[in-house]
């Protein structure tokens, strides 16, 4: 599975969009980009995933560059409850999730 | 809507004792995963079942660890002769699918403390 690189931490003002970048320059053609988040003391929670095209669901949007070497998770209107560790993971057919250190997102009022 | 459940939520044991954790996945999910998470780190994959078959096991998993999913439903993770380094959160996840990656639903975890 390809390695991903994320910033250690980010701050975002409540109500503003949170844009979380992820670099996955060695991603292979059959690997999907998955995003999970983990709120303190809870199990990780699935957010969104994509292969080539941009994706949107009720939680977030995922923008994947044309060369697939990087992506951005967008939380359109961040709230205090979005404070969490966000993990970007390249997932192949092996199914297992290989978590890195993730990005600590702090949403501030 | 019942999600993934894990039991117990907390376990304190003395070094050298055996412990067993249980995971009940979402009922129609055929895949089940175990992960371990230590403080300040992301979860680390331990093992994976598709139905009752254990299809992958991490090389980091010592032979003191064993996992079963006898009827393709609930799963147990046993740690024999626990060591202080086994102290961690043990997370279970489940998903449904045949081929390719799928969204995994995580349980709340079992926090193990080895004294």
Give residue-wise pLDDT tens across range B85-113.
999 999 999 998 876 678 999 999 999 99
Mutate to test the interface with B, among A49, A51, A85, A97 (most CBs of B within 10 A): A97
Query: How far apart, in whole angstroms, are the C-alpha atoms of residue B112 and residue B115?
Result: 10
The pLDDT, as a whole number, for residue B101 is: 72
Is the confidence at residue A93, as pLDDT, over 80?
no
Any idea what DSSP says for residue A29? T
From first CA to last CA, the distance across chain A in angstroms is: 37
Please, which pLDDT band fits residue B60 given cuts at 50, 70 and 90?
A: confident
Q: Which of B43, B56, B95 sits opposite A94 (nearest CB)?
A: B56
Any idea what DSSP says for residue B103? -
**Which residue in this structure is represented by tokens 């977030």?**
A60
Contact status, residue B27 vs residue B2, Cβ threshold 8 Å: yes
Mean pLDDT of chain B: 93
> What tokens appear for B68 in the block?
């079963």
Contact B101 A34 (CB under 8 A): yes
Higher pLDDT, A85 or B102: A85
Query: How far apart, in whole angstroms, are the C-alpha atoms of residue B23 and residue B69?
Result: 9
pLDDT digits 0-9 by tens, A32-59: 999 999 998 899 999 999 999 999 999 9
Question: Nearest-CA neighbor of A32 among A83, A68, A82?
Answer: A68
Q: How large is the C-alpha radius of gyration of chain B?
A: 13
Mutate to test the interface with B, among A35, A42, A89, A96 (most CBs of B within 10 A): A96
**∠ CA A18-A20-A26 to the nearest 5 degrees?**
165
* A93 has a chain B CB within 8 A of its CB: yes
* B105 has a chain A CB within 8 A of its CB: yes
* B70 has a chain A CB within 8 A of its CB: no
Contact A95 B95 (CB under 8 A): yes
- Choice among A57-71, B16-30, B57-71 with the minimum mean pLDDT: B57-71
Chain B CB contacts of A99 under 8 Å are 35, 42-44
- In angstroms, the Cα distances linking A24 to A49, A60, A65, B19, B105 are 14, 19, 10, 38, 24
Higher pLDDT, B65 or B97: B65
The pLDDT, as a whole number, for residue B102 is: 81
Q: Which of A32, A97, A100 sits opposite B104 (nearest CB)?
A: A97
């Amino acid at each position: 599975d390809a390695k991903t690189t994320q910033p250690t931490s980010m701050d975002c003002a409540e109500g503003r969009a949170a844009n979380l970048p992820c670099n996955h320059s060695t991603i292979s053609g059959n690997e999907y980009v998955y995003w999970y988040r983990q709120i303190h003391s809870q199990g990780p929670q699935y957010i969104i995933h994509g292969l080539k095209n941009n994706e949107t669901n009720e939680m977030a949007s995922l923008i994947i560059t044309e060369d697939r070497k990087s992506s951005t998770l967008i939380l359109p209107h961040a709230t205090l409850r979005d404070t969490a560790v966000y993990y970007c993971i390249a997932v192949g057919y092996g199914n297992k999730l290989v978590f890195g250190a993730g990005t600590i997102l702090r949403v501030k009022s | 809507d019942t999600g993934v459940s894990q039991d117990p939520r907390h376990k304190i044991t003395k070094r050298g004792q055996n412990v067993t954790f249980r995971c009940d996945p979402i009922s129609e999910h055929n895949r089940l995963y175990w992960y371990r998470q230590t403080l300040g780190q992301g979860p680390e994959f331990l093992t994976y079942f598709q139905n009752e078959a254990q299809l992958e096991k991490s090389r980091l998993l010592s032979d003191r660890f064993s996992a079963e999913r006898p009827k393709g439903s609930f799963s147990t993770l046993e740690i024999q002769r626990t060591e202080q380094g086994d102290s961690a959160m043990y997370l279970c996840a489940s998903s449904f699918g045949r081929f390719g990656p799928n969204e995994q639903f995580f349980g709340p975890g079992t926090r193990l403390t080895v004294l």
